[in-house]
Amino acid sequence: MKGTLTVLNIKVLGAGCANCKRLEAETRAALDGAGIPYDLVKVTEYADIMAYGVMSTPALVINEKVVSSGRIPARSQIVKLANETESA
């Protein structure tokens, strides 16, 4: 991280099924499209996933906050969620 630039810390929780891959792709596309800098990590171990209290995958975690689970949000929603978390 350099200076004032805020880089969002994104985690995609999911064991690696098709939906998890789609969530990752959608998130990247949404944030790239909005020009929001981010760092994305995939969390695939069940113990780590469960630590977030998430029972339905795929889940999206932004700056250590679970913002969605069990669904793939629309891109506009991902951007909105990112902005909300960022300003919090």
Query: What ranges make up the beta strands (E) of 15-78?
Result: 38-43, 59-62, 65-69
Among 10, 23, 72, 78, indicate the residue that binds other proteins (CB under 8 A).
Answer: 72
CA atoms within 13 A of residue 58's CA, in its CB half-sphere: 24
Query: Residue 27 or residue 67: which is nearer to other proteins going by CB?
Result: 67
Among 12, 20, 23, 78, indicate the residue that binds other proteins (CB under 8 A).
Answer: 20
Task: Determine the Cα–Cα distance for residues 25 and 85; give it in Å rounded to an integer.
Answer: 20
- Residues at the contact surface with other proteins, assessed by CB under 8 A: 5-6, 14-20, 34-37, 46-47, 49-57, 61, 64-74, 76-77, 79-80, 82-87
